[in-house]
Amino acid sequence: MNWRGFYTLFAKEVWRFLKVTTQTIFAPVLTVLLYLLVFASVLSEHVQVYPGVTYASFLIPGLIMMSIIQNAFANSSSSLFQSKMTGNLVFTLLAPLSDLEFFLAFVAASVIRGIVVGLGVLVAAMWFAPLTMHSFWILLGFTVLSSATLGALGVIAGLWAEKWDHVAAFQNFVILPLSFLSGVFYSVNNLPPFWQQLSHFNPFFYMIDGFRYGFFGLADSSIGLSFFVVSLSLIAMSVLCLWLLRIGYHLRN
Amino acid sequence: MSHAINIAKVHKNYGNLHALAGIDFQIPQGSFFGLLGPNGAGKSTLINTIAGLTYASTGTVEVMGYDVRSQWRQARKSLGVVPQELVYDSFFSVIEVLRLQSGYFGYGRENYPWLDELLDILSLTDKANASMQNLSGGMKRRALIAQALVHRPPVIVLDEPTAGVDVELRKMLWEFTKRLHNEGHTIVLTTHYLEEAEALCEQIAILNHGQLIALDKTQTLLGRYPYRLLRLSLSLDFTLPTLPEALQSKVQSFELGELVLRLHREQDPICGVLECLRAANIPFLDLRTEEPGLEEVFMQLTSDREILS
C-alpha cells in the first residue's frame, strides 16, 4: 500500500474544495438556511411529525443529511470529471497509485466535505430550533456511511460522464429527486400506502431516517434496517466503483 | 537487463481500427531514442501503452524490466512522461503541483530540495508560487517537465515537447534533454520536427499505420537513403524546358534560379550530370551537394508503405 500516495491524493482533494469554500461550503449552508426559513416558518404552526418535536426541529436533521448527500456526491464527481476533462488526471494515472488507493482518497475527501458542510448547516440551523442529541455515534456513523456511499457514486458518475451535461444530469435526475423524496420534509408514514412502499426502496430514505434517529431516538423505520441498507449501499457502490477502476472504464482505454 | 523499454508483439484495437499492429522492439538503457511517424501512425497509442494509460489488446510492455500491467507500481516509478498537451490543475501553484506529484510517488519533505533544484534548472524559481493557469505557454511546458521528473525516473518520455514553442525555449529544451541523457537517463522523444530527431537521437523508430517500418541508428537510417541532392545556381534566363531530357526526371525543385537535382549515389555520378549540362550549354554560377536529411528518409519510407498498402 502506497500510504503516502493515498494521503497526498486525499489531502489534494480536501485542499481543492477548501480553496473554493464560498462555492463548496458557504453556498450549500445558505441554501439549507433558506429552506429552513421558508418551510419552518410557514409550516411550524400546522405540522407536527413526532410528539414533542417541532416541525423546524424535525426538518433540521433531514436538511443536514440532504446537504451531506449532495455535497459528498458533488465533491468526487466534479473533481474527477474536471481532472478528466482538463487532462491533468493523467498525472494521477501515471503515479504508482492502486485502484483502491485512488478510490479511498476520493471517497475519504467526500466524507470530509460532507462532514464540514453538515457541521456548517448544524451550527447555522441551531439558531432556528432546539435540537437534542440521542446518540453521537449513530450521527457520526450515518454521516460517514452516507457520505462515503455518495462519494463512491460520485466517482462512478465522474468516470461515466463524458461532458458536464452528464454530471449535471446525474445530479438533477438522480441525486436531487431521491434526496427530496426521502422524507427530508415529511414523515413517510404520512404518505399514501403506495408512496410509502416506494419510499422504502429509496436508500436515501434510510440515510435520513437513521440520521434523524441519532437526534431524536425516533424514526419511521428501524435503526437496524437503516444501518443495514446504508451499509449495503456503500458496499454495492464500492464494488461497482472498484470494478470500473480495475477495467480502466473511461480512464485507461 | 539492458533494455529500458521492451515492447513485445503489442496489438491495440479500437473496434475495427488496428491502432498498433504487432509492434515489437526494444529501447536500450541510456539511449536517446526517437519515435517518429505521421499523424495517426500510432505514436501516442504506443506511448500511452508504455505509460499504462492504455491497455494493450495483446502483447506485453516492460519498463526497466517491469511489466506495465503486472508490476505496474515499479514500472510507473521507473517512468516519467511529459504529455503533449499543456494539461494542468488550475487550483494549484507550481510548487504545490510538484509537491503533490512527489507525494503520489511516496516522497515527503525529504524530496523538497530536489523539487527546488528542478525549479532552478527549468528557470521557474520565481514562478514557484504562481498559479499554473497564470503561466505562459512556455512556462507551463517547463512545469510539466518538472512534474514528470519529481521522482527521478530512469526513463523519460517526451511527447512532442517542442510543439508550438518559440526558438529560444526549443533550444533550452534541447540542452536540458541532452543534459538528462548525459546524466544517464534514457530519453524517448516523439517529435514532428525531423531535424530535432536528427540532431538529438541516436536511434530512431518510425511507425506508420500502427506498424514499425524502420528501426535503426540515426546515421544508418540516413545512409539507407540512396540519394543525395545537387544544388545548382543558374543564370536567371534559364528555363526548365531547356534542361536535357536525361535530367528532367531528377529535378526535385526549381525556384529563383536555383535548381535542385535528386541524384542516386551509384547510378548518377555528379561528373555525368555536369557533362550533360555542359553539352546542353547551360552554365552554372555555383554548385553544392547536400546529404539527405531525416525528412527525405522519412518521406520515402512512409510513401513506400503508402504505395505498398
Please report whether residue B121 resides in a domain: yes
**pLDDT band (50, 70, 90) for residue A46:** low
Domain boundary among B158, B182, B217: B217
Taking an 8 Å cut-off on Cβ atoms, the answer to whether A95 and B101 are in contact is yes
What is the per-residue pLDDT for B155?
A: 96
Q: What is the mean pLDDT of chain A?
A: 90
pLDDT at B308: 43
Q: Which residues of B touch A4 (CB under 8 A)?
A: 103, 106-108
pLDDT exceeds cutoff 70 at B169: yes
Structural domain contains residue B249: yes
Nearest-angstrom CA–CA distance, B79 and B67: 12
Same domain, B77 and B191: yes
In this predicted structure, what is the pLDDT of residue A44? 66
Do B110 and B159 lie in one domain? The reply is: yes
Residue B7 domain-assigned (yes or no) = yes
pLDDT at B61 over 90: yes
In a domain, B206, yes or no: yes
Query: Are B12 and B68 members of one domain?
Result: yes
Q: What is the mean pLDDT of residues B51-74?
A: 94
Percent of chain B with pLDDT over 70: 96
**pLDDT (tens digit per residue) in A163-175:** 999 999 988 898 8
pLDDT at residue B309, as a whole number:
43
In tens, the pLDDT along B82-107 reads 998 888 888 899 999 999 999 999 99
Do B171 and B113 share a structural domain?
yes
Question: Looking at per-residue confidence, does B158 or B40 come out higher?
Answer: B158
- Out of A98-102, B30-34, B170-174, which region has the weakest mean confidence (pLDDT)? B170-174
CATH of the domain at B65: 3.40.50.300
Structural domain of B271: 226-291
B296 has a pLDDT exceeding 80 = no
Which residues on B lie below 8 Å from A5 (Cβ)? 103-106
CB atoms within 10 A of CB A196: 14
Among B152, B182, B217, residue at a domain's last position? B217
Give how far A177 is from chain B: nearest CA, Å: 31
User: What residue of A is the nearest CA neighbor of B77?
Assistant: A96
Is residue B273's pLDDT more than 70? Answer: yes
Same domain, B63 and B181: yes
Q: What percent of chain B has pLDDT over 90?
A: 40
Asked if residue B301 is part of any domain, the answer here is no
* Mutate which: B48, B104, B135, vs A, most A CBs within 10 A: B104
Considering the domain architecture, whether residues B213 and B231 belong to the same structural domain is answered as no
Contact A2 B73 (CB under 8 A): yes
**Quick check: B114 pLDDT over 90?**
yes
Q: How far is CA A229 from CA A43, A204, B238, in A?
A: 31, 9, 91
Q: Test A4 with B73 for CB contact under 8 angstroms.
A: no
Query: How many structural domains are present in chain B?
Result: 2
Instruction: Say yes or no: B199 and B58 in one domain.
Output: yes
Of B85, B91, B104, the CB nearest to A9: B104
Q: Rounded CA gap, A219 and A183, in Å?
A: 11
Tell whether the model's pLDDT for residue B33 goes beyond 90: yes
| Cβ-based interface (< 8 Å): residues of A facing B | 2, 4-5, 7-9, 11-12, 15-16, 19-20, 83, 86-88, 90-98, 248, 252-253
Residue of chain B with shortest Cα separation from A85 = B87
Q: Is A37 helix (H, G, I), strand (E, B) or coil?
A: helix
In a domain, B306, yes or no: no
**Average pLDDT value for residue range B259-268:** 84
CATH classification at residue B242 = 3.30.70
Q: What is the mean pLDDT of residues B133-144?
A: 88
Same domain, B156 and B250: no
pLDDT of residue B1: 52
- The more confidently predicted of residues B23 and B191 is B23
Cell of B6: 521492451
pLDDT in tens, A212-250: 999 988 888 899 999 999 999 999 999 999 999 999 899
Interface of B with A (CB under 8 A): 51-55, 72-74, 76-77, 79, 81, 83, 85, 87-92, 100-101, 103-108, 147
Q: Which residues of B touch A20 (CB under 8 A)?
A: 91
Mean pLDDT (chain B) is 87
Q: Is the predicted pLDDT of residue B307 greater than 50, yes or no?
A: no
Give the confidence band of A52 by pLDDT, cuts at 50, 70, 90.
confident
Per-residue confidence (pLDDT) for residue B196, from 0 to 100: 81
**Distance, CA of B273 to CA of B288 (rounded, Å):** 13
Does B175 score more than 60 pLDDT? yes
pLDDT at B167 over 90: no
Q: Which H helix or E strand runs over B114?
A: helix B112-121
Examine the domain organization and report whether B278 and B134 are in the same domain: no
Q: Of the residues B196, B217, B238, which one is the last residue of a structural domain? A: B217
Q: How confident is the model at residue B294 (pLDDT cuts 50, 70, 90)?
A: low
pLDDT band at residue A182 under the 50/70/90 scheme: confident
pLDDT at A45: 67
Measured between CA atoms, how close is A95 to chain B, in angstroms? 6
pLDDT score for A230: 96
User: Rounded distance, CA A245 to CA A93, Å?
Assistant: 11
Question: Which residue on chain A is closest to B89 by alpha carbon?
Answer: A88
Q: What one-character-per-residue DSSP string does B282-307 give? A: --EEEEEEE---HHHHHHHHHHHHHH
Looking at chain A, the whole-number percentage of residues with pLDDT higher than 90 is 61
pLDDT band, very low/low/confident/very high, at A192 (cuts 50, 70, 90): confident
Q: At what angle do helices B112-121 and B137-149 cross, to 10 degrees?
A: 140
For residues B97 and B78, what is the distance between their CA atoms, to the nearest angstrom?
20
The pLDDT of residue B208 is: 86
**pLDDT confidence bin for A153, thresholds 50/70/90:** very high
Indicate whether B75 belongs to any domain: yes
The reply to whether residue B107 touches residue A91, judged by beta carbons under 8 angstroms, is no
